[in-house]
Amino acid sequence: MHTAAGVEARLPIRSDMDLVWVRQHVRQAAALLGFGLVDQTKLVTAASELARNTLVHGGGGRMEAAHVTTTGGIDGLRLTFSDSGPGIVDLDRALSDGYTSGGGLGMGLGGARRLVHDFAVDSAPGSGTTVRVTSWVSRPPRPREGV
Amino acid sequence: MSEEFSRPVAGHVPVLRLGDVLLVTLQGDLHDSTAHRLQQDLSETIARSGVGGVVIDISGVEIVDSFLGRVLAEIAAQTELLAARTVVAGMRPAVAITLVELGLTLPGLRTALTTEAAMELLAQPVVSSRSGGRREESP
Ligand SMILES: Nc1ncnc2c1ncn2[C@@H]1O[C@H](COP(=O)(O)OP(=O)(O)OP(=O)(O)O)[C@@H](O)[C@H]1O
Ligand SMILES: [Mg+2]
């Protein structure tokens, strides 16, 4: 079993310094839960994209990290990014590659969705944005374990 | 790896001159502002020193997101306008896999597996048809 310590966190996203702490926390939490190197890298990259959106488009907000488990006992890391900014007017458009309302590449939101297992956005114009992503640890079968 | 490298790099990135090449080593987790400053500083340094090439060693970089990817691509484009070539060296396999899934293939970027290979690439004469993305050797 994993302890919640080191995984559970609530971090502010108010500056580009905070983006660094978000990335470091997600890296550490993913490693603790047993994610492999490639999956850690995908999660940290997705978190970096979403946290930067929270900062740049949402005017700042926070990230919450939580350890989740399936009934089958598979560990997952759930990250929730929320802000009370302007919200996303056209979500389909925002998710499409290359769409940006600013000077970005427009790859962040759609790219983050590809990098995680579960992805959900809750947003409405004027009422902020919450993006919740979850990835699950995929362990190679280890038949001898616990025998 | 020293403790210092796992901390955020708040200040500036060291730029080393080796003959005709500037060697930039990125380590740890960069602030957006540090990356931006590097982009500005490099252009000035190239213009001042007249070097023909820039090698950016990212073997110590654990993630490249769309922001840092864009900065690297812009540095490459800028140096091209200043008659120099940029090679990004040492990208970790996990970073490469993630970048492709993110959708960021950075077509204008020259890459090499190691800093040494990047130096060799820059030592070769410039191929006459200028095109940023393709490999220097023809098949
Ligand atoms: N938290 C948010 N609040 C408001 N709008 C958002 C938020 N996140 C994303 N958006 C909108 O969705 C668009 C697409 O986001 P995406 O991250 O894909 O691109 P970008 O941030 O513009 O550029 P990039 O991430 O490539 O630098 C943004 O331009 C913005 O209009
Ligand atoms: Mg973005």
Between the CA atoms of A49, A52, A53 and A59, what dihedral angle is there, to the nearest 10 degrees? Answer: 170
Domain ranges of chain A: 9-136
Residue-wise burial string across A53-64, b where 16 or more C-beta atoms lie within 10 A, e elsewhere:
bbbbbbeebbbe
> What is the pLDDT at residue B125?
80
Q: CATH number of the domain at B58, please.
A: 3.30.750.24
Between CA A133 and CA A81 the distance in angstroms is 9
The β-bridge partners of B6 are none
CB-nearest to B101 from A17, A27, A114 is A114
Mean pLDDT of B1-10: 42
Residue B72 in domain: yes
Are A22 and A63 a contacting pair, CB within 8 Å?
yes
> What is the pLDDT at residue B68?
95
Are B26 and B61 a contacting pair, CB within 8 Å?
yes
A83 lines ligand 1 (CB under 6 A): yes
Are B105 and B95 a contacting pair, CB within 8 Å?
no
Per the structure, the count of domains in chain B is 1
Query: What phi, psi does B75 have (nearest 5°)?
Result: -60, -45
> What is the pLDDT at residue A1?
52
A88 lines ligand 1 (CB under 6 A): yes
Query: What phi, psi does B65 have (nearest 5°)?
Result: -100, -175
> What is the pLDDT at residue A147?
40
Are B12 and B38 a contacting pair, CB within 8 Å?
yes
- CA dist B71 → A103, B77, B83, B88, B96 (Å): 13, 10, 18, 12, 16
CATH level 3 topology of A9-136: Heat Shock Protein 90 (3.30.565)
Residue B139 in domain: no
- Confidence band of B5 (pLDDT split at 50, 70, 90): very low
> What is the pLDDT at residue A3?
57
> What is the pLDDT at residue B4?
38
pLDDT tens-place string over residues B20-44: 999 999 998 889 999 999 999 999 9
- And the tokens for B131? 């095109």
Residue B130 in domain: no
CB spacing of A49 vs B66 below 8 angstroms: yes
The β-bridge partners of A77 are A67, A135
Q: Which atom of ligand 1 is nearest to the CA of A128?
A: 3
A24 C-alpha vs ligand 2 centroid, how far in Å? 19
Output the residue whose Cα is nearest ligand 1's atom 27.
A104
A146 lines ligand 1 (CB under 6 A): no
Testing ligand 1's pocket by substitution, the residue of A54, A109, A123 carrying the most ligand atoms inside 8 A of its CB is: A109
> What is the pLDDT at residue A22?
98
Q: In one letter, which amino acid is B37?
A: R
Residues of chain A with pLDDT under 70: 1-4, 139-147
Between CA B113 and CA A73 the distance in angstroms is 40
A104 C-alpha vs ligand 2 centroid, how far in Å? 7
The β-bridge partners of A136 are A76
pLDDT tens-place string over residues B44-95: 999 999 999 999 999 999 999 999 999 999 999 999 999 999 999 999 999 9
What residue in A sits closest to B70 (Cα-Cα)? A105
> What is the pLDDT at residue B52?
94
Q: Which atom of ligand 1 is nearest to the CA of A101?
A: 29
Q: Could you list the residue range(s) of the whole structural domain that residue B93 is in?
A: 2-123
CB-nearest to A107 from B31, B62, B104 is B104
The β-bridge partners of A129 are A83, A123
